[in-house]
Structure 1
């Protein structure tokens, strides 16, 4: 996977994107009509990983965190 300039800078500065609560992430996804499987495919993880993110039992890390945060922000902007 190619690392973007933004990812390199965030990594170097140890900047992490903040996520809404797991409950809000789930509500945004549902309100947008996106399935867990569709979101998982879009960010490159399994459906089970999205289930864990939305239940709060697991938090995305690294590039996955960036991709998930960007997807959630997109869902928020579309709402």
Structure 2
């Protein structure tokens, strides 16, 4: 069953709230010993995209946003 518009909006807003500032994203990745390429491979993005997300030049969107948030949450757990 497809999510309603309201569910999609709530979901995206929660995800955005859960995404830490760019410098913290980079720090979590580095602390875990992952390269930008390794994280990109995990979430299905390019290394350049991860670099942009970590500098704040761009923000992930759509399915990449959901995967990136899940990765960041996991990195927080292991930190």
State the TM-score, normalizing by the size of structure 1: 0.84
Equivalent position of 2:45 in the other structure: 45
Residue 11 of structure 1, CA deviation: 6.4
Question: For residues 34 and 62 of structure 1, do their structure 2 counterparts lie closer, same or farther at Cα, with a shift above 3 Å needed?
Answer: same
Query: How far apart in 2 are the matches of 1:26 and 1:46?
Result: 15
Write out per-residue CA displacement over residues 4-58 of structure 1, whole angstroms, 9 at most, x where no aligned residue.
Answer: x8xx548651122120000000000000000000000000010000000000000
Alignment of 1:1-79 (within 5 A): 9=3, 13=7, 14=9, 15-16=11-12, 17=15, 18-79=18-79
Q: 1:12 to 1:72 in 2, by over 3 A?
A: same
Q: Which runs of 5+ in 1 are unaligned?
A: none
Structure 1 stretches (4+) deviating beyond 6 angstroms? none
Q: Scaled by the length of structure 2, what TM-score is found?
A: 0.84
Aligned residues: CA RMSD: 1.8
**Which range is displaced more, 69-78 or 8-17?**
8-17
Which structure 2 segments of 5+ residues have no match?
none
